[in-house]
């Protein structure tokens, strides 16, 4: 039985913690389509300056330890918010995080939006976790 039977409140506080840490943002075909459609960059520009590969998978480039290349630390915002990839859209309701309460509890320490804002039902969370 899931630990989120009663749902979970979440509202992004735009703190940038999840965008400014070291890690990979994977880009799936539908993400690439969205990026080309909505980011304002052409496919060539994206491939040349913003995408990379790790073990054969396409990922967003990072700024080393400062996190995602699209995170604007001064404005505290994502430069491609409307075009952001599925991994960003579905956070924090990732399978890997809601799978076990211990994993989830660690994430709540990093994300101040968890426990705030609107209530996501168990059904909604299960739908979101299956998008990735
Ligand atoms: S850590 Fe949570 S509150 Fe902060 S930007 Fe990421 S999702 Fe939003
Ligand atoms: S694409 Fe935007 S939302 Fe996703 S990690 Fe980068 S800055 Fe954050």
Strand partners, 131: none
- What is the residue extent of each domain of the chain? 1-13+85-132, 26-84
Ligand 1 centroid to Cα of residue 68, in Å, is: 13
Per-residue pLDDT of 52-64, as tens digits, reads: 999 999 999 999 8
How many A from CA of 101 to the centre of ligand 2? 25
Candidate of 8, 9, 11, 18 to mutate for ligand 1, largest count of ligand atoms within 8 Å of Cβ: 18
pLDDT for position 31: 98
pLDDT for residue 65: 81
Q: How far apart are CA 51 and CA 32, in angstroms?
A: 10
Q: Whose CA is nearest to atom 7 of ligand 1?
A: 12
Cα separation of 97 and 85, whole Å?
18
Q: Which stretches of the chain score pLDDT less than 70?
A: none
CA separation for the pair 131, 17 (Å, rounded): 22
pTM beyond 0.85: yes
- H/E stretch holding 109 reads helix 101-110
Q: Render pLDDT for 22-37 as a digit per residue (tens, 0 to 9).
A: 889 999 999 999 999 9
């Amino acid at each position: 039985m899931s630990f989120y039977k009663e749902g979970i409140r979440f509202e992004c506080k735009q703190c940038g913690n999840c965008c400014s840490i070291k890690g990979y943002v994977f880009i799936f075909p539908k993400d690439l389509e969205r990026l080309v459609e909505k980011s304002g960059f052409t496919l060539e520009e994206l491939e040349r300056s913003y995408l990379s590969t790790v073990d054969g998978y396409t990922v967003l480039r990072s700024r080393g330890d400062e996190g995602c290349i699209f995170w604007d630390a001064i404005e505290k915002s994502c430069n491609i918010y409307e075009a952001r990839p599925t991994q960003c859209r579905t956070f924090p309701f990732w399978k890997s995080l809601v799978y076990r309460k211990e994993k989830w509890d660690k994430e709540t320490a990093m994300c101040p939006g968890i426990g705030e804002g609107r209530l996501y039902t168990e059904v909604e969370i299960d739908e979101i976790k299956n998008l990735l």
